[in-house]
């Protein structure tokens, strides 16, 4: 799946798509930094490798994860939480590279959330078949802060529901370079990702990488 960057000038595919009050997709917002972002992700994963964490119920997550920044999101038999160190190494998570911080802050600003300074970046790697079931993001302290989510590599279908688990979700295709900003009245909406279709992306290879930035502490 590709997108014609110039389509916007003539028809369809607006660069900014409101999903609901508080949630917006900024199409292609990360494209200009794609090479720099992927190089930074390689540095992060060299220091804190991707791993399949266990849910509190003992299931292995199909998405491989790592983190950068002062706080990292982790899950194991003890539950979901933020931790200042990588449980594999007991070392602090790698620092958040400036290119990531600047991108997240600029996207939040564009979406109407000034002064977003994330202290946590969860790095998700989806390979063919990996998925994320419907969930709310509620391990953060301050729900007035938005979440910024950057998609790189293979396309995926994001499912975006309501405030209750049973609210019927809409499907939102997310492509390489798309950024979703999510906060305010949308902050606690249920969401997830459908199983990734196999494929190969010219820069990222046979996977999708998602970065989600939060203010955790
Ligand atoms: C993903 N994203 O896109 C998973 N959460 O791989 C999320 O769970 C998410 O994209 C909160 C806000 C935006 C997101
Ligand atoms: Fe989430």
Is residue 2 included in any domain, yes or no? no
Among the listed residues 211, 215, 177, the one whose alpha carbon sits nearest the alpha carbon of residue 65: 211
pLDDT of residue 107: 97
SS3 at position 183: coil
For residue 111, being part of any structural domain is answered with: yes
Q: Residues 148, 183: contact at Cβ < 8 Å?
A: no
Helix axes 98-110, 34-47, angle to 10 degrees: 130
Question: Does 102 fall in a domain?
Answer: yes
Pocket of ligand 1 (CB under 6 A): 124, 132, 137, 147, 149, 158, 180, 182, 191, 193, 210, 212
Predicted local confidence at residue 14, as pLDDT: 76
Residue range(s) defining the domain that contains residue 186? 14-214
Ligand 1 site-directed mutation target among 212, 213, 214, 216, most atoms within 8 Å of CB: 212
- Taking the C-alpha atoms of residue 21 and residue 89, their distance in angstroms, rounded to an integer, is 41
Has residue 61 been placed in a domain?
Answer: yes
Gap from CA of 64 to ligand 1 centroid (Å): 14
In a domain, 6, yes or no: no
Any domain includes 3: no
Count the alpha carbons within 13 Å of 107 in the hemisphere toward its beta carbon.
37
- pLDDT tens per residue, the chain (217 residues)? 556 555 554 455 579 999 999 999 999 999 999 999 999 999 999 999 999 999 999 999 999 999 999 999 999 999 999 999 999 999 999 999 999 999 999 999 999 999 999 999 999 999 999 999 999 999 998 999 999 999 999 999 999 999 999 999 999 999 999 999 999 999 999 999 999 999 999 999 999 999 999 999 9
| Atom 8 of ligand 1, residue of closest alpha carbon | 192
**How many angstroms does the Cα of residue 10 sit away from the middle of ligand 1?**
30
Q: Where are the beta strands (DSSP E) in the chain?
A: 16-20, 23-26, 64-68, 72-76, 79-83, 120-126, 132-135, 147-153, 156-160, 170-174, 179-182, 191-193, 208-214
pLDDT score for 6? 55
**Where residue 152 sits, what CATH number does that domain have?**
2.60.120.590
- The strand pair at 191-193 and 208-214 is best described as unpaired
Domain count, the chain: 1
Q: Is 96 within the bounds of a domain?
A: yes
**pTM for this predicted structure:** 0.94
| 9 lies in some domain | no
Atom of ligand 1 nearest to the CA of 182: 12
């Amino acid at each position: 799946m590709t997108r014609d960057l110039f389509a916007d000038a003539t028809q369809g595919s607006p660069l900014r798509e409101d999903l609901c009050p508080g949630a917006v997709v900024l199409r292609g917002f990360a494209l200009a930094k794609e090479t720099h972002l992927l190089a930074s992700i390689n540095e992060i994963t060299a220091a804190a490798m991707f791993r399949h964490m266990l849910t509190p119920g003992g299931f292995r997550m199909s998405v491989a994860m790592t983190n950068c920044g002062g706080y990292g999101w982790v899950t194991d038999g003890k539950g979901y939480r933020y931790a200042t160190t990588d449980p594999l190494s007991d070392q602090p998570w790698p620092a958040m590279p400036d290119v990531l911080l600047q991108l997240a802050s600029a996207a939040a600003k564009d979406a109407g959330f000034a002064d977003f300074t994330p202290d946590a970046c969860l790095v998700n790697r989806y390979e063919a078949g990996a998925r994320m079931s419907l969930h709310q993001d509620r391990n953060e302290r301050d729900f007035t802060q938005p979440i910024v989510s950057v998609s790189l590599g293979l396309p995926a279908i994001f499912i975006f529901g309501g405030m209750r688990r049973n609210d019927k979700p809409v499907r939102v295709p997310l492509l390489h370079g798309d950024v979703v900003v999510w906060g305010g009245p949308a902050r606690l909406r249920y969401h997830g990702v459908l199983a990734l279709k196999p494929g190969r992306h010219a820069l990222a290879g046979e996977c999708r990488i998602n970065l989600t930035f939060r203010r955790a502490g």
